[in-house]
Structure 1
Amino acid sequence: MTYAYLNHRMSRRTFLAGATLAGVNLAVFGLSGCAPKTPAAATGTDTLAFTPGTYTGTGEGKFGPLTLQATFTDSAITDIAIGEHEETERVSDRAFDEIPATIIDQQALGIDTITGCTLTSAAILAAVTDCVKQAGGDVCAMEKNYRAPELSADVVELECDFVIAGAGAAGMGAAVGAAQAGAGKVIVLEKGSNVGGNALVSGGYLEYVNAPADLRVPMTPELTRQLEADLANPIAAEIPPEELAKIKERYAAWQASGDTTLFDCEELMALQECLLYGADGYYGSLDFAQCVSAFDAFLDENGFAWKPCIGIVGYPWPHWSAPDDGFCGQGYFNFFDKQIAENDYPVEIMLNTPVTALLKDGDRVVGFTAVAEDGTTYHVRASRGALLATGGFSGNPDMLREYNTIWPWDENTPLPTTNVYGHHGDGIKLALEEGAEVALMDSLMMFPFADVKNGCDETTVGEDTDCLLVNKNGERFVDETLDRYTMTEALMKQPDEVLFLISDKDTSRVEGEYSYYGRSIQRLLDQGQLHRADTLEELAEQMGCDPATFKATVERYNEIARAGEDPDFGRMIFTERSPIENPPFYASPRTWAAHITEGGVVTDEISQVLREDGTAIEGLFAAGEVTVGMSGVSSMALGYACGAGVFSA
């Protein structure tokens, strides 16, 4: 696989203009107190002076301190060694490679941060600045040394069989699917600095309906009750009768088989989607379920390793799995790397090279125009089609406000997001310029388990569905297994719009000194992103609520959990581990943040983008969150099907 580092960097000033979290601003502004740089070509210093030695510096990264060691002679920095940190793998890689190299090469600070890994870039610069100060160096002089690369005016023509905008879940799935189906050359144009998109910072969960028995949970009485309630739901009666009959027949056969693990099937997955979004979309949901199952089978056939299945926030049926390789969704992209390398697939990935326009031949889309970091313009023409896989717009507050019809925001409401850099609705905007139809643009899914400090998902401690949720008063306020829209609506009515996810030793998913997502427990505690105590009263004090109220809440919840009946909020799914009773006890403070936009461009059965009059925009395809409907990590399945379909037709 070729990674072409033709990257378009975002300056620190540009980043700050779009930042929504105060902590980010402080991290970047803290780099130095020097006056603004004058143009690089007119500055620079001939000599620098340091006290020789190796110094340890610290900068604040996304999840906490990043340390490094910088070695100095009396006149230069000669080495920078990155030390302890918790930056996200792949997202931070380019910053680790390039920022230290540029500092040493130019003996400079004040370097522009790298688009897509701005926080890591800023942390490295802050840590090196710390070392320079310790060594007695002149920080302002080193900032003046930085020489930004001159932008190119070159225009380069490239040709391929298939070009993809976006190297996230859908884009990489499409690239592998197309290559496997016989594409001679696939070019992927990525706006950010890494492959992976939001899948790298989500839980990495994918529906695994046909999981083997050893990965399935037991079919408990509570799960049986939930299943039977789903089958009896009035919405279930609205799906085609023959489809409901299939589920019941499969359930009866499962009962007769003596299987004690979770009952599941593609039709049930489709029904559960309908219970959330309406029965009129049953066949679309079934197509989606079958598409995901086919992708799961592809992973299985190629030796993919899975974690045991669980339920996740908003989707409690425990048929969700994740890679048993790395954290979050990293393992999927390790898998794609391996597939591309082992099969010598002709996939070229150009990072920090955002698509800016469609290339057309008459009414047909024949490729994309993209502009790289160094200013080079690329016209990438593709003989078989161009795919938009650019994700949604949860990272674009302006678009969120424009399309919002359901959330109580005003123009002053901060809109943090769980998303990585780049999800600004770019693909939707390009499609709209061609007259594409869009739908459900106001279906804006908030995530009710976002970090109160930085909006991310990865610092959560505790099982998503087998937990207790309380507000800042220490009171339970919602059924913990409801959908994300309902949970967020309830959360917004709580004091300061904050909840605490309460867990104990059995449900915290803490392994040693690290969380399920690989975050240091001690660091989360030190930074106020987690509370831990051996008694409920002590935990309540750390949370800032009345110990007696909180203890009574937990005792009431435990009573409900042991009985498996919830007269207070109607929750149905409990397990033997649900009661909060085995110390240490944990409280993970969370709030809401923009997570997934379910609206987008409308496509046909082969993923071609449709105009408002129902005709296809020839040559233009779309997959993943840029389209209307299902999204998330399962976008990989949709992208894979699209890429394979283009070259199988």
Structure 2
Amino acid sequence: MIRTTLITAAVAMALGATGSAWAAGYKAGTYQASAQGMGGPVKVEVEFTSSAIKAVRIVGTTKETPGIGTTALEKLPPLIVENQSLGIDAITGASKSSSAVLTAVADCVRQAGGDPKALMAVPVKKSGKAASKTIETDLAIVGAGGAGQVATLRASSLGKKVVLIEKMPFVGGAAAINGGTVVIQGSKIQKELGVKDDTPEIMRQDLLKNGHNLNDRSKLDLYVNHVGPTIDWLLDQGLVLDTKAGFTNEAEYSKPRCIRWLGGAPANMKRMHELVQKTNAQVFTGTRAEELIVENGAVVGVKAVSNDGTTYTIKSKAVLLSTGGFGYAKDMLTGALKQSLYYGPVSSTGDGHKMAKAVGAKLQLMEYGKIYPNGVEVAPGIAKSTIWANKNAFEKGSGILVAKNGKRVISETASNNAIKQVELKQPDSTLYILMDKPTYDGFVQGLYIGGITGGEVDSWIAKDGKGTPKFVKADTIEAAAAKIGIDGKALKQEVVRYNSFVKAGKDADFDRPAKFMTRAVVEQGPYFIIEQQPRFATTMGGVVTNDSFNVLDTNGKPIKGLFAAGEIVGGAMGDDSPPGGNMGWAVTSGKLAAEGAVNSMK
């Protein structure tokens, strides 16, 4: 949440100085308005003189994503005042929060007697001649997600000078918007929470099974043997797990080893970045790496360009790529990934993959991505996740998962991988969740964790099955089924059958655990049905490295000076990743890669 932010600026010149032919004219005073953001309403207060916008304030608290949406709330108001314009570009990666600010300010302009359309046409001031800067450091890290920031912490703790660059205007990457869970196998806290019989070998076998034995065995061994000590180290640094909530139930694991960060992903990234800010590392956001610098076959730096046009030549003893995946780069997608909705960050454009390949790096498993079965299509080709809402519906409520024929097809609490395989075989690769009102109420609470607001849900239901995503409400099961296009008679019969299983304490069809069948579907409406489609964010393919995370070339030889960590390093989890697995890999590989890079400097 963000507290009241006040941005004031002296307006020394009339609107003519911005190049606009429109003569500003306002009713002097202070006006308020609000607009829907990513997490809820964003309220602004705008102060006008008779000829200019004097100040823009974000009022009260918001539920915009910390470090992402809040960046838009912090950066847009002064730009509006400085430029006397509403033609400000949205903050990349925070378009919905940006839109909320601009829409609310436009409302205030109307209240003050101004013309928002005219302000949209006012050009934004451009900076002068772009500067060129050269920076020398020990380690240049490209990408400030989970892996990059952990690598920064570790290299800094080992006494090295670090420059961390991030192309987005904020840090966090995919780690700021994921499910907020992490694997803690082998850590002290796992044992303190009562799990003392988990081992690296058990986790290794779980990941081999889930990854269909396509795993890079050396990376897998590094992961399972080092994730515990890495978690211990991070907790010592100041990160916090939600031990009160305890382990999450995940069918992919033989032992409880997955747990949420306290406050979820955004809160964890906020804490991590605060730790980075306490180091001596130089951090540049809004700065895109464009090319690796190679001399005599060794990587000795990186060239980058900032949003203001400044070009940077960063000379370093080593470069560590932690640039994430390539899910948002449609030209890099193949196979099932092309058929799945995308719900990851817009920053996942494969920049690191491309730069590494340009210097001869070997890539592997590029056709694979982590596909989840629980997405809803919120825009053409774009999804949001209902994974936490589904947990509420299936583990605490009476929700059932059915196909277009109205029949259940799998245990609702099976692994995501198992449900995905069934889902991909359905017409349009779509399944449906049926919920009664008590289950729906719990489902909606889970949606908020995934960044879906109450306003969005209401707007989806208001579409009544027309458009996307398909989410319907009706007084009877048959009526809800008709709206969404599934067999209502069969669905009604399936509910009766499922309720008999609840009464008997055993799912005779799909063996849904009895502990997750404590409530029958109620006999009185309303009822709700929502679509479920395959979605992905994480790509599983990437560069090949040795055990020091030194990137290998196509001949299997280390590329001197080039290291990598996180999603860009393919292989540890094969063709699929279990819940919390990607975050566990990010922090583990980030720490180990930093150590490998530092050791290469000796």
Q: TM-score, normalised by structure 1?
A: 0.75
Q: Which amino acid aligns with 1:334?
A: K
Q: Which amino acid aligns with 2:240?
A: A
Q: Which residue of 2 aligns with 1:574?
A: 513
Taking the aligned partners of 1:141 and 1:66, their CA distance within structure 2 comes to 23
Which segment is superposed worse, 475-484 or 198-207? 475-484
1:62-77 equivalent positions in 2, closer than 5 A: 62=38, 66-77=42-53
Q: Which residue of 1 aligns with 2:314?
A: 380
Q: Which residue of 2 aligns with 1:426?
A: 351
Q: What percent of counterpart residues are identical?
A: 28
1:196-595 equivalent positions in 2, closer than 5 A: 196-210=172-186, 212=189, 263-279=197-213, 281=215, 284-302=219-237, 304-307=239-242, 308-312=246-250, 318-324=256-262, 326-327=263-264, 329-340=265-276, 344-383=278-317, 385-400=318-333, 404-406=334-336, 409=338, 416-454=341-379, 455-457=383-385, 460-463=388-391, 466=395, 468-471=400-403, 474-482=406-414, 484=416, 486-501=418-433, 515-517=448-450, 520-521=453-454, 524-528=457-461, 545=486, 548-560=489-501, 568-569=509-510, 571=511, 574-581=513-520, 588-595=530-537
Question: Paired residue for 1:44, among 13, 16, 20?
Answer: 20
Taking the aligned partners of 1:280 and 1:94, their CA distance within structure 2 comes to 39
Which segment is superposed worse, 169-178 or 89-98? 89-98
Kept in 2, the 8 Å contact 1:270–1:285? The answer is yes
Taking the aligned partners of 2:446 and 2:569, their CA distance within structure 1 comes to 40
Secondary structure, aligned partner of 1:97: helix
Taking the aligned partners of 2:453 and 2:103, their CA distance within structure 1 comes to 22
Taking the aligned partners of 1:551 and 1:396, their CA distance within structure 2 comes to 43
Kept in 2, the 8 Å contact 1:204–1:323? The answer is yes
CA offset digits 1:13-52 (Å, max 9, x no partner): xxxxxxxxxxxxxxxxxxxxxxxxxxx9983146311234
Question: Paired residue for 1:645, among 596, 599, 602?
Answer: 596
Taking the aligned partners of 2:519 and 2:319, their CA distance within structure 1 comes to 52
Taking the aligned partners of 2:499 and 2:239, their CA distance within structure 1 comes to 38
Kept in 1, the 8 Å contact 2:18–2:123? The answer is no
Segments of structure 2 that go 5 or more residues without pairing to the other structure are 1-15, 462-468, 573-580
Taking the aligned partners of 1:190 and 1:396, their CA distance within structure 2 comes to 18
- Size of the aligned set, in residue pairs, is 551
Kept in 2, the 8 Å contact 1:161–1:382? The answer is yes
Change (3 A) 1:510 1:210: farther
CA offset digits 1:572-616 (Å, max 9, x no partner): x62513344377976554322232111111000100110111111
Shift of 1:448: 1.8
Taking the aligned partners of 1:460 and 1:425, their CA distance within structure 2 comes to 28
Change (3 A) 1:470 1:77: farther
Shift of 1:309: 0.8
Kept in 2, the 8 Å contact 1:462–1:588? The answer is no
Shift of 1:511: 9.3
Taking the aligned partners of 2:406 and 2:519, their CA distance within structure 1 comes to 14
CA offset digits 1:31-79 (Å, max 9, x no partner): xxxxxxxxx9983146311234444444454456544333333322233
Secondary structure, aligned partner of 1:645: helix
Question: Paired residue for 2:142, among 145, 165, 172?
Answer: 165
Q: TM-score, normalised by structure 2?
A: 0.81
Which segment is superposed worse, 453-462 or 420-429? 453-462
Q: Which residue of 1 aligns with 2:569?
A: 627
Kept in 2, the 8 Å contact 1:196–1:333? The answer is yes
Taking the aligned partners of 1:512 and 1:92, their CA distance within structure 2 comes to 20
Taking the aligned partners of 2:229 and 2:434, their CA distance within structure 1 comes to 37
Shift of 1:108: 1.0
Q: Which residue of 2 aligns with 1:194?
A: 170
Secondary structure, aligned partner of 2:257: strand
Shift of 1:320: 1.1
Shift of 1:444: 2.4
Which segment is superposed worse, 509-518 or 552-561? 509-518
Taking the aligned partners of 1:334 and 1:179, their CA distance within structure 2 comes to 18
Taking the aligned partners of 2:214 and 2:445, their CA distance within structure 1 comes to 47
Kept in 2, the 8 Å contact 1:182–1:647? The answer is no
Taking the aligned partners of 2:97 and 2:287, their CA distance within structure 1 comes to 20
Shift of 1:637: 1.6
Change (3 A) 1:594 1:515: closer
Q: CA RMSD in A?
A: 3.5
Shift of 1:262: 8.4
CA offset digits 1:350-382 (Å, max 9, x no partner): 111010000122111011100001111101111
Shift of 1:544: 6.2
Shift of 1:138: 2.1
Q: Which amino acid aligns with 1:114?
A: I
CA offset digits 1:398-420 (Å, max 9, x no partner): 111xxx2456x5xxx6x642111
Q: Which amino acid aligns with 1:477?
A: V
Kept in 2, the 8 Å contact 1:540–1:547? The answer is yes
Shift of 1:207: 1.0
Shift of 1:648: 4.9
Q: Which amino acid aligns with 2:25?
A: A
Shift of 1:182: 2.1
Shift of 1:474: 4.0
Kept in 2, the 8 Å contact 1:444–1:597? The answer is yes
Taking the aligned partners of 2:483 and 2:29, their CA distance within structure 1 comes to 42
Q: Which amino acid aligns with 1:488?
A: K
Change (3 A) 1:94 1:284: closer
Q: Which amino acid aligns with 1:118?
A: S
Q: Which residue of 2 aligns with 1:26?
A: none
Kept in 2, the 8 Å contact 1:57–1:128? The answer is yes
Shift of 1:489: 4.2
Change (3 A) 1:162 1:115: same
Taking the aligned partners of 2:220 and 2:447, their CA distance within structure 1 comes to 37
Q: Which amino acid aligns with 2:359?
A: E
Change (3 A) 1:273 1:469: same
Secondary structure, aligned partner of 2:389: coil
Kept in 2, the 8 Å contact 1:166–1:390? The answer is yes
Q: Which residue of 2 aligns with 1:256?
A: none
Shift of 1:146: 2.8
Change (3 A) 1:482 1:613: farther
Kept in 1, the 8 Å contact 2:40–2:455? The answer is no
Shift of 1:272: 0.7
Change (3 A) 1:537 1:581: farther
Secondary structure, aligned partner of 1:462: helix
Segments of structure 1 that go 5 or more residues without pairing to the other structure are 1-39, 217-258
Taking the aligned partners of 1:141 and 1:613, their CA distance within structure 2 comes to 59
Shift of 1:158: 0.2
Secondary structure, aligned partner of 2:178: coil
